[in-house]
Amino acid sequence: MQKNSLIKKIGLNRLGDERGSLVALESHRTIPFCVKRVYYLFNTTRGVARGFHAHRNLKQVAVCVSGSCRFVLDNGKQREEVILDNPITGLLIDSLTWREMYDFSSDAVLMVLASEYYDELDYIRNYDEFLKVAAL
Ligand code: T46
């Protein structure tokens, strides 16, 4: 990872035994905020791209618990890409970060832990507006 990279990965501890693996996620321990909401994307149509927005205040950690997908993160100055393809890596997505998600495998399940309840007013869905807010 570059020194000032936008790609901040969180290594998740794989627990388990001969029966299989288990990962536990805890607020303020593994996840650097209080988790108020969890959602997951699955059954994503082949070739589709999602996201194309930033959040004003929301922080999130995304984990591709099955399959793979590609994230583009952009803070208005830098744009970087990362592939999520395992259930033991979380991607921390800070507020005021534009995100786009591509290349979902047919078995992809993208789980996201969020610091706030759902609020459409927190979304910035226009890239030019995002650039203005990010520059403040
Ligand atoms: C994000 C990326 C990674 C709700 O009603 N509640 C929710 O908690 C969420 C996340 C979405 N919705 C509704 C809003 C839309 O009608 O579900 C529909 C799909 O949401 P959206 O088009 O925002 O989905 P994505 O995949 O573009 O973005 C989602 C999250 O919304 C977003 O916060 O960071 O995944």
- Looking at residue 136, what is its pLDDT? 85
- Looking at residue 70, what is its pLDDT? 98
Residue 33 has pLDDT above 70, yes or no: yes
- Looking at residue 1, what is its pLDDT? 47
Span 15-28, average pLDDT: 97
CB-CB contact of 54 with 124 (8 Å): yes
Residue whose Cα lies nearest atom 28 of ligand 1: it is: 51
Q: Which candidate, 135, 129, 136, 112, places its Cα nearest to that of 54?
A: 129
How many angstroms does the Cα of residue 64 sit away from the middle of ligand 1?
A: 16
Tokens, residue 95: 């507020």
> With bands split at pLDDT 50, 70 and 90, how would you rate the model's confidence at 3?
low
**H-helix or E-strand spanning residue 130:** helix 127-135
Ligand 1, pocket-test mutation among 70, 109, 112, most atoms within 8 A of CB = 112
How many angstroms does the Cα of residue 16 sit away from the middle of ligand 1?
A: 32
How many angstroms does the Cα of residue 4 sit away from the middle of ligand 1?
A: 28
Atom of ligand 1 nearest to the CA of 120: 14
Please list the active-site residues: 53
Longest dimension (CA), the chain: 52
60 lines ligand 1 (CB under 6 A): yes
Residue 79 has pLDDT above 50, yes or no: yes
Span 75-88, average pLDDT: 97
Residue 135 has pLDDT above 70, yes or no: yes
